[in-house]
Chain A
């Protein structure tokens, strides 16, 4: 079997006379986390609705492990776990009752499996409480639990970072990476904020006005061999000498901005730069580096956050 988990073939959607999705063609591979990025109204949710058969395709097809969502819905959807837009559950039932409800709809889900996913998303304490009392973050977790019950080979999460704090996002990142790496799940994760999901994605597709305008591989910073330019900002004194050192020792064009030293370099060079600054008696209080290239590219491509 091929490595492709999900394949979109010239997927289009028209509502009325308006074409909302204008021919999407791309594949998502096993064990890959694919970020589906675009501003609000770009068509992410609409695309996801078509991927899972909630909306009919006006044109094209979606194949999930080779099975068409149009012609072989039951077998195609069996491979998929998803949250579409907000993770809405029955508010008058407990988390556990909600999961049992969905478990009954798919053959072969044991109580142990339910307990396992509850543990994975960290909802053990709240699982006997009514979902109506859950915070948005807790509902996101329950949504993910619900999507994982039947061990899908494709996991689709529509804006799962909505309503989560940075700690929550980090946690999601951890178990999504684990699912992809250990269980070979293909994960599709949409967001209108690149920064929130960039770190968990292997590849990113940028959608705007219903068109895929770019796909881009995200370099994993720990294994990167390619040049990986990051933006560095340092708090140092004295500033003048620091700028001087960077110019002479490293031929870097640094500038002072908001009392911080700002420059761009490859990540691997940062230790050397710090060492030479120290040797020249520059005091360093803080070093920050942000990966800026992709974000810049994103904004270049997207332009303003406008629809049409």
Chain B
């Protein structure tokens, strides 16, 4: 076990010692700062309701919004958005809850969108971790150690998953810090309104962050594993990156395109978004259940890993 830990340590070192990895983090940081900056300009998110006049503030806001809605009519671009705000404001007023201002925690929640960037970076790492060793020629020296090929491959896979985890952690922590700088702490346990099957619900932001990020992790892990398998089989990182990113982007379209076939529900991408089973949502294809999706995901996962392992295990390591 100790031995395996050292192998993973080696792989992590090789990832983080390279400048290209640091460039990824710099880009990620720049995006987070940029989003923070833009949200700061947007007056709604910076609106605070901290003083005793919060009821008046809400009513004023409602008046403005209603006017806007009436002027623009039902076809207005912001119709949905504005009516939703009015609805929320009314909820606060009716239930006599002082709304929490926009703070660091809310910013972290909004940055769940950045998980697609984390997925992208993880795919790049996953696609390179085996293929690069072949490209550099270092695979030869790596595989003539008293370590089975299975262990060598597994250590690389674990390093990819750890990279995803560290990067996710970075997004969370850095978003929180930037959130603090731009929007302040907010309240200790901020709450917000969400819609579920029974209309508006008043919930804790933290309890929203966990599933929001969690559901996206499923897709991340599946696509990283896919890229890892492709690059292990073809020893070509560009191919693996291209294919994985294409499928990640086009996944939903593929499912929609084939949605009238009865095998459509077996497509990986029909199952990667598990939030389709939460209250207030409906499954992509009728008749799908959470249990079904988890089974499909496990089958794909095992398939990717098994094929990668089989190729890596028997491969002759010859010239490029």
Contact = CB atoms under 8 A, between A and B. Distances in A.
Q: Do A and B come from one complex?
A: yes
A106 B147 CA distance: 8
Contacts of B7: 104-105
Given A49-B317, A74-B148, A85 B140 contact: yes
A97 B13 CA distance: 10
A96 to B, nearest CB: 12
Contacts of B136: 88, 90-91
Nearest to B3: A107
B316 interface: yes
Contact of B144 (A77, A89, A91): A77
A188 to B, nearest CB: 14
Given A73-B148, A101-B14, 8 more contacts: A53-B143, A54-B316, A54-B318, A56-B314, A74-B148, A89-B141, A104-B10, A105-B7
A5 B18 CA distance: 40
A26 interface: no
B140 A54 contact: yes
Contact of B137 (A77, A86, A101, A106): A86
22 contacts: A49-B316, A53-B143, A54-B144, A55-B317, A73-B146, A77-B144, A84-B140, A85-B137, A85-B140, A88-B137, A89-B138, A91-B136, A92-B17, A92-B19, A93-B17, A102-B145, A105-B6, A105-B7, A105-B145, A105-B147, A106-B145, A107-B3
A241 B140 CA distance: 61
Interface of B: 3, 6-7, 9-10, 13-14, 17-19, 136-138, 140-148, 314, 316-319
Interface residues of A, number: 32
B76 to A, nearest CB: 55
A157 to B, nearest CB: 13
A146 B19 CA distance: 25
A88 B137 CA distance: 6
Interface in A54-92: 54-56, 73-75, 77-78, 80, 82-86, 88-92
Contacts of B137: 85-86, 88
DSSP majority for the A interface? loop
Contacts of A92: 17-19
Contacts of B314: 56
Interface of A: 46, 49, 52-56, 73-75, 77-78, 80, 82-86, 88-93, 97, 101-102, 104-107, 146
B317 A54 contact: yes
Contacts of A52: 144
Given A101-B10, A104-B7, A104-B9, A54 B143 contact: yes
A55 B138 CA distance: 15
Contacts of A90: 14, 136, 138
Across the A-B interface, give the 6 residue pairs with the lowest CB-CB distance, nearest first.
A88-B137, A54-B317, A105-B145, A104-B6, A55-B316, A74-B146
Contacts of B18: 92
Contacts of A54: 140, 143-144, 316-318
A272 B247 CA distance: 84
Contacts of A91: 136
Contacts of B143: 53-54
Nearest to A84: B140
B13 A77 contact: no
Contacts of B147: 74, 105
A146 B140 CA distance: 12
Contacts of A106: 145-146
Nearest to A13: B316
**Most chain A Cβ neighbours within 10 Å, of B142, B143, B148:** B143
